[in-house]
Amino acid sequence: MTSLTTTSPRQTVACNIVASRLDYCNALLSGAPAATFDKRCIQRAQNNLTKVVCQSRGRTDARPLLHSIHWLPVRQRVTYKLAVLTHKVRTTATPTYFSELVQTRASPRALRSSDAPMLVVPRIHTELARRAF
């Protein structure tokens, strides 16, 4: 395995082209069962990409390699990207249609958890839209 202290061309290509495809519509995968990630081979694709970036052999375990290049596994990556999107909507000037979707919940009683910024989960009737929130 080579040292990745500087960004190699392999890592640049992997991040810019392939990893962006892994992130495409990942909000729809939020809350999906683990079998969804296995059936679509998303985690397998990321593992293979990691092995290419690190120039490792085929039977090498990808988890330590993911950690060494500071990549999250797909399931945690989906959660992280959704959290970043929610944070950006709440803290920056975003279009009103985003701001209307992410609303802060007001607590009816004074509790210790009242200080925590809780979000309203809208009532949605389709399973696909429900997973997006």
Each residue of 15-42: pLDDT tens digit? 777 777 777 777 677 777 777 776 567 8
- CB of 22 within 8 A of CB of 78? no
What pTM was estimated for this model as a whole?
A: 0.66
Q: What is the mean pLDDT of the chain?
A: 76
Nearest to 11 by CA among 41, 42, 40, 51: 51
Query: How large is the angle between the packed helices 42-54 and 74-91, nearest 10 degrees?
Result: 100
At residue 6, the pLDDT reads: 58
Helices (H), 15-132: 19-23, 34-39, 42-54, 62-68, 74-91, 96-101, 127-132
Q: Would 58 be classed as within a structural domain?
A: yes
Q: Would 2 be classed as within a structural domain?
A: no
Domain span including residue 90 = 9-132
Q: Would 1 be classed as within a structural domain?
A: no
Q: Would 3 be classed as within a structural domain?
A: no
Residue written as tokens 């392999």? 10
Q: Would 4 be classed as within a structural domain?
A: no
Domain count of the fold of the chain: 1
At residue 113, the pLDDT reads: 60
Two structure tokens written together for 95: 């279009």
